[in-house]
Chain A
Amino acid sequence: MSGMTRGYVVRRFLMWVLTVWLGATLIFAIPRLAPGDPIAAMVLRMSAQGQIIENSAELIQAWRERFGLDGPWYVQYVNWLRNCMTLDFGYSLTQFPARVWEMIWRALPWTIALLTFAVIITFILGNLIGALLGWRKTPPLLRSLLPLTLTFSSIPPFIFGLLLLFIFAYTLDLFPNQGAYDSRNLQPGLTVEFLASALHHAILPAMAIVLTSMGGWALGMRGMMITTDGEDYMILAQAKGLRTPRLFLRYAVRNALLPQLTALALSLGLIVGGSVLIETYFVYPGVGYLLYYSITNGDYTLMQGIVFILILTTATAVLIIDLLYPLIDPRITFQKR
């Protein structure tokens, strides 16, 4: 990383700050521009429980004040930015008096644990399959069998999840059908039983994510491999009489993988949103469902909190990838041209 200058790091960090700030501003603005009044909707839900609320305007005003939604927009904006900096997003609009941070924190570890592992496995498997598909020397039998693994990608994840549940949970009874651990008998903690149970519960949802999403990586990787295969250095490497594994891994895959890594950092934000169905079908705890809940129930404070966390993590992941990129691709230097 000899080429990394301090100026670059500072610039890149300022970019990160700008991204996060723009994100925070958008999150602030969009709900305020959207139709419908979240407070009114909340009050409407109360009245939907069979009672006519005869003085809803008064109630709406009371809640508006409590959430600071009655002040001028710039005061609300400054408050919001302060919340973002302290990661304290106040109370949930629909789950008052639950605090947004507390709700996110309850779900986040599961999301990170499940998604991190599923995404890493997906990334490795998808790229391996794609690399083998795009590699000329792949044995024909393997080459004709591999696309079968990609057919899972064309099955909607929820149907696939159901299929997995039906086969492995209900018919074979190998895996639990729901939950993140055996909550009827165990308590979370650093115990072997709990971790084993957590792992056991994570396998089916992870499988559903991996099998349905590795196709995208595989197709991208296949294309990159074909492009790479036509490169001059591949021809020279072949002429050198290198053994196939080295040719495949150090020359072809190593180069084809570079754009995929960038895509990985960028996809982090999408992954959480995409895991809603998995969380729903496997009744797995997670931020995805929380986000879905916040949107469908008009819980703006919760939604803003989650989306801000997503922006923050994605921007940070991109920052890290950017700073680490010279380790991955020596051509990238941070010096100004």
Chain B
Amino acid sequence: MGEHSNDRKQPSRDGSLDSRRVVLDVQDLRVHYATPRGDVIAVNGINFQVYEGETVGLVGESGCGKTTTAMAILRLVQPPGRIIGGRVMVEDTDLVSLSEKQLRQLRWVKLALIPQGAMNSLNPVMRIKDQIGDAITTHEGRLPADALKQRILDLLNQVGLPARVYGMYPHELSGGMKQRVCVAMAIALNPPLIIADEPTSALDVVVQRVVAQTLLDVKQRLGVSMILIGHDMGLQAQLVDRIIVMYAGNIVEIAPVREAFKNPLHPYTQLLIASIPSIKERKPLKVTEGLTHDLRNPPPGCVFQFRCPHAREICRALKPQLREYGSGHLTACHIYENAGEYERSAPIVTTATPSAALYAADLFKEVDPHGRAAS
């Protein structure tokens, strides 16, 4: 483990290596949840980087640790969870070891959040202007009232919200509007990195599209780095440059987005992609076959062994490490390790449905990379 922690060079969307600045470097991050019958290992020593201007997708089924990872990066893991180790480097500062006060000053300035479930993410008894305003004034000090107002109106405008939202209460807004308020709030201080935690999950399909478009606009206009957490593979395909696949608290695959869809390596990634029901009908990932192990007590060997159709003896004994099997394409699977070297054509693993690659191709067509949503 951790052998990639110093490797800052990772491929971009098209797989080419680049040497852009690392905005976020997560090193051996571990999060446990205390339960009466022992700790649940929610995040088990993960490593990854986010580059300037890059959008990274963090995917996996519910409970895989993706949201916990995001909360750990923000240092907002709620009890009984706690960060028990690792580092979260943001521009050479380790957030994990900061004091509360130092952390508070860095929050939102360096790292903003677009929360999951915008329905409840806004304080119901405060006007929108006050909720965006307090993020600004807390970090920049008091501004002249009209300057602050202008700035908030600009932010609302940037996410496509009308000016009247300024004086409204959250309950007067629709779900999509609330989520766009959250986007406006996230970009208020122009942070280098935004974590968007399933930003569209509670919205209906049409509104999801609008919010996704807003995110894409913002990303392209501001050049902000983003971590997009979600189980909506379609959205991921549209928005992210790289995908990180998590399973049971571990990263099992990191790949440029096209690679991930066209040529998934890890059996779990293959299962994920195969289970995408259809383009038009996005549903939470549901991979029902097999059982996950008890997260309190992980077995020796591979975390996916109980559900893996290709599990071998070594998978039950030795934990596979993330290794690069192509330009910027990493996976943790013994199958490829034993194969000696990565062979693109080697039919060692078959996808659950032969048409997965077709889905993938379809997905990329849906949103054109320059912004406008397809019908």
Contacts and interface: CB of A to CB of B under 8 A. Distances in A.
Partners in one complex: yes
A233 B122 contact: yes
Contacts of A254: 123, 125-126
Contact of B171 (A136, A237, A250, A331): A331
B108 interface: yes
Interface stretch (A4-12, A31-39, A125-133, A241-249): A241-249
B34 to A, nearest CB: 15
Contacts of B103: 241
A79 interface: no
Contacts of B211: none
Interface residues of B, number: 34
Contact of B126 (A231, A250, A328): A250
B169 interface: yes
A50 interface: no
Interface string B324-346: 00000000000000000000000
Given A232-B117, A233-B120, A331-B169, A239 B125 contact: no
B124 A255 contact: yes
A255 B122 CA distance: 12
Contact of A241 (B116, B117, B139): B139
Contacts of B124: 233, 255, 329-331
A238 B121 CA distance: 11
A330 B126 CA distance: 8
Interface in B168-182: 169, 171, 182
A239 B74 contact: yes
Nearest to B139: A241
A67 interface: no
Contact of A232 (B108, B121, B169): B121
A241 B169 contact: no
Given A236-B115, A241-B105, A241-B108, A230 B138 contact: no
Interface string A247-268: 0001100110010000000000
Given A251-B123, A255-B125, A242 B138 contact: yes
A230 B113 contact: no
A128 to B, nearest CB: 18
Which among A231, A237, A239, A255 has the highest number of chain B CB atoms within 10 Å?
Answer: A239
Contacts, number: 84
Q: What is the interface of chain A mostly: helix, strand, loop, or mixed?
A: helix
Contacts of B151: none
Given A239-B74, A330-B171, A231 B135 contact: no
B78 A232 contact: no
Interface string B206-219: 00000000000000
Interface in A74-125: none
B122 A246 contact: no
A235 interface: yes
B123 A255 contact: yes
B299 to A, nearest CB: 32
Interface string B60-81: 0000000000010010101100
B112 A239 contact: yes
B96 interface: no
Given A233-B124, A246-B138, A330-B125, A238 B117 contact: no
B113 A232 contact: no
A134 to B, nearest CB: 13
A184 interface: no
Contacts of B89: none
Interface in B122-138: 122-126, 134-135, 138
A136 B107 contact: no
A255 B125 CA distance: 7
A240 interface: yes
Contacts of B122: 233, 236
A337 to B, nearest CB: 13
B109 interface: yes
B20 interface: no
B185 interface: yes
B104 interface: yes
17 contacts: A230-B78, A232-B117, A232-B121, A236-B115, A236-B121, A239-B111, A239-B112, A241-B103, A241-B107, A242-B138, A243-B104, A246-B134, A254-B126, A329-B124, A330-B124, A330-B125, A331-B125
Given A232-B120, A239-B76, 16 more contacts: A231-B120, A232-B115, A232-B119, A233-B122, A233-B123, A233-B124, A235-B121, A239-B107, A239-B108, A240-B107, A240-B185, A241-B103, A251-B126, A254-B125, A329-B124, A331-B169
Interface of B: 71, 74, 76, 78-79, 103-109, 111-113, 115-117, 119-126, 134-135, 138-139, 169, 171, 182, 185
3 closest residue pairs by CB, A with B = A241-B107, A232-B120, A239-B113
